[in-house]
Amino acid sequence: MKLNIIFSILPVLVFLMVFNLLDSYKLVRIKTIYQALLWGVVAAGLSYVFNLVLNVFVDFEFNNYAKYLAPFVEEILKAVFVYYLIKKHQIGFMIDGAIIGFSIGTSFAFLENIFYINELVTDNTFVWGLRGFGTSIMHGGTTAIVAIITMLHTSKKLKSTLKAMMPGLLIGMLIHFFFNSFIVSTL
């Protein structure tokens, strides 16, 4: 089981470290990265609760719910901290947004992978490697995309941060939706 956890999260942690190394100006404080990591865990927990409650109302089969509705809930909850930081002018550049967004997605994916390690009936290390390279990178990447596109639109002097966030959020949701819609499942 420990090996499965390592394979499911190691790729995304390495990618996060590379992202941080590419930030030549080091404007993102380590405290902000820790806060982003913490928010990813909170967002994953909230997503679990929201998805359970919402699924009762829509009564979808699990796979259909995961495909069609979960991406919207999860991407919105991951983006809340990005929105907060941009609103407080604590993200200055697109790369800062990418680092923070990817940090949120990293810890979100970590908690999600821990959940699935306990839920899925497989010890196949290859499955967990695919979750590490696939699902984890997707969660980090979509939130980074939301942050980058929001920063791009914010720099164009859109008056509303929420309005500036919509294109990136929509793209993140679509990527997540298509990722969950693959014909061949990881298992």
Candidate from 15-19, 38-42, 62-66, 85-89 with smallest mean pLDDT: 15-19
Asked if pLDDT for residue 186 goes beyond 60, the answer is no
**Number of Cβ within a 10 Å radius of residue 5:** 15
19: which 2 tokens?
């992202």
Q: Identify whether the C-beta of residue 92 lies closer than 8 Å to the C-beta of residue 27.
A: yes
Q: What is the pLDDT of residue 46?
A: 98
How does pLDDT run across 4-22, given as a tens digit for each residue? 778 877 887 787 788 778 7
The three-class DSSP label of residue 1 is coil
Q: Which amino acid is at 116?
A: Y
Residue written as tokens 């995304």? 12
How does pLDDT run across 45-54, given as a tens digit for each residue? 999 999 999 9
Q: What is the pLDDT of residue 80?
A: 98
How does pLDDT run across 67-120, given as a tens digit for each residue? 889 999 999 999 999 999 999 989 988 989 999 999 999 899 988 988 888 787
CA distance 165 to 146: 7
Q: Identify whether the C-beta of residue 140 lies closer than 8 Å to the C-beta of residue 101.
A: yes
Q: Identify whether the C-beta of residue 151 lies closer than 8 Å to the C-beta of residue 93.
A: yes
Q: Identify whether the C-beta of residue 161 lies closer than 8 Å to the C-beta of residue 88.
A: no
Share in percent of the chain as helix, strand, coil (round to 5): 80, 0, 20
Nearest CA to 139 out of 35, 27, 13, 4 is that of 13
CA distance 45 to 80: 14
Torsions phi, psi of 33, nearest 5?
-65, -45
How does pLDDT run across 125-137, given as a tens digit for each residue? 888 888 888 888 8
